[in-house]
Homo-oligomer: A and B are copies of this chain.
Amino acid sequence: MRASILTIGNELLIGDIINTNAAWIGTFLTEHDIEPVRSVTVGDSEAEIVHHLRDCAKVSELIIITGGLGPTHDDVTKHTLLRYTGGRFTEHTPTREFIEYNFKKRGIPISKSNLGQAQVPDTCEVLFNKAGTAPGMWFEHEGCILVSLPGVPVEMKYLMEKEVWPRLAQKLGTNGSIFRHYMQTAGIGESTLSDIEIGDVSDKLIEGVQLAFLPHSHGVGLRISSTGGTTEEARAKALPLIKHIRSKAREHIYSEVQGDDLPAAVGRLLEHNKKTIATAESCTGGLLGSMITDVPGSSGWYNGSIVAYQNELKTALLDVPESVLKAHGAVSAETALIMAKAAAEKLAADIGLSTTGIAGPGGGSEEKPVGLVWFGYYDGERHFAMRAQFFKNRKMNKERTALVALDITRRVLTGVTRMPYDAPVIIG
């Protein structure tokens, strides 16, 4: 099946809003074996909308339309679709009742234009919108499916997943249900993960099973998706691939929940192990503590941080002897080791974690280039330092450093001996 995407709204056209809906829909369709062939954005103009409905119908069997469904005069999509399909307005009672219920609950009087949202063309099947007030609409007109959805991303996504896809699956025939599973990895690059760790999976990629690598700032995500007659059937088809990846790359996987991030995963591990952590930061400047405290409830496992940006403070607050700074420098295994131990001791935590490096863009030397970072870890039992070489970009170096420090902690807490990116460690 081929599809066109028609996004409506002056705010999109003049660039006040970036068109993330079109990208999301493009990805959604592609994942579901529907080919997007064209994506058009027009203003709230009936003539333009009708022109593109006609034009897109020539190259696609499905048109996904978003936007222009609000209660104001600017929004012309519903009236345009009414006239285009030759329908008449009729009330969709469940939508009216849902609007009345919501306004009553919030104690706000309902205006005529609010109630107008329950008026729909009788030429459509209503896609009931539990995420908002504007109903979605499904038309079949001259051999083309027209789906009209609100422009609000959360409402559009809700309707695409819950109302549009089941109907499309029925139209498409057998491959009715879709199953998706996510795995989040850290401490390994995309190509190493794919080529070396996971290896050849061609025999697991049977019909209807797909594997996608999704690199993001916290690591590399994996999305396994499959289709089948039922969700259970789809799941069964994907399972061999999921099990294979788990067996090959388990130590890199920090979560199997979509969108889960590394600080949250480390937080859960600390909570589960009843351990507290503290940090001693130099090059991250507080970012490591900030990432940890982005997680709600982090006061349960995080004690605090000493950010010693000046060398004098590394001596005064973290007991790094002047002689060590002089002999090895602030960016060294020796300094990182002392900082980690001091973090645990001074901040009364079970685990002490440290970072010291050259964030850039200045401050590098031939021996210690920009992007060089030393990490320290201490928990009473283990005491080691690890080295990494990042890039030229200051903010990226800070972020990478904080995440690798967290991944070191995750690996220790889960009994993984290999460190992020297979870096060797120096025992303190």
Residues on A lying within 8 angstroms of B by beta carbon are 12-20, 22-30, 36-43, 48, 55, 59, 279, 281, 284-290, 292-294, 296-299, 302-310, 312-313, 316-317, 346-348, 359-363, 394-395, 398
Counting from the closest, the 3 A-B pairs by CB-CB distance are A285-B293, A286-B289, A286-B286
Copy number of this protein in the oligomer? 2
Give the docked Cα–Cα distance between A317 and B227 (Å).
Answer: 57
Contact A294 B398 (CB under 8 A): yes
Additional A-B contacts beyond A38-B48, A296-B394 (18; CB < 8 A): A12-B23, A14-B27, A14-B29, A14-B30, A18-B20, A19-B19, A39-B42, A40-B40, A281-B289, A285-B290, A285-B293, A285-B305, A286-B286, A286-B287, A286-B305, A287-B289, A294-B395, A304-B310
Contact A23 B27 (CB under 8 A): no
Give the docked Cα–Cα distance between A18 and B153 (Å).
Answer: 14
Contact A292 B297 (CB under 8 A): no
By a CB distance below 8 angstroms, the chain B residues around A26 are 12-15
What are 25 A-B pairs at a CB distance below 8 A? A12-B26, A13-B37, A13-B38, A13-B39, A18-B19, A19-B22, A37-B43, A38-B48, A284-B293, A285-B298, A285-B305, A286-B289, A286-B292, A287-B287, A287-B289, A294-B395, A294-B398, A296-B394, A298-B309, A306-B306, A306-B307, A306-B317, A307-B307, A312-B348, A317-B347
By a CB distance below 8 angstroms, the chain B residues around A309 are 289, 293, 298-299, 302-305
Minimal Cβ-Cβ distance residue in B for A45: B37
Contact A13 B36 (CB under 8 A): yes
By a CB distance below 8 angstroms, the chain B residues around A17 are 23
By a CB distance below 8 angstroms, the chain B residues around A39 are 12-13, 19, 40-42
Known contacts A27-B16, A306-B307, A348-B313; is A286 also within 8 Å of B293 by CB? yes
Closest beta carbon of chain B to A219's beta carbon, Å: 19
Closest beta carbon of chain B to A255's beta carbon, Å: 19
Partner of A313, one of B30, B304, B310: B304
By a CB distance below 8 angstroms, the chain B residues around A292 are 285-286
Give the docked Cα–Cα distance between A30 and B43 (Å).
Answer: 13
Closest beta carbon of chain B to A387's beta carbon, Å: 21
By a CB distance below 8 angstroms, the chain B residues around A59 are 48
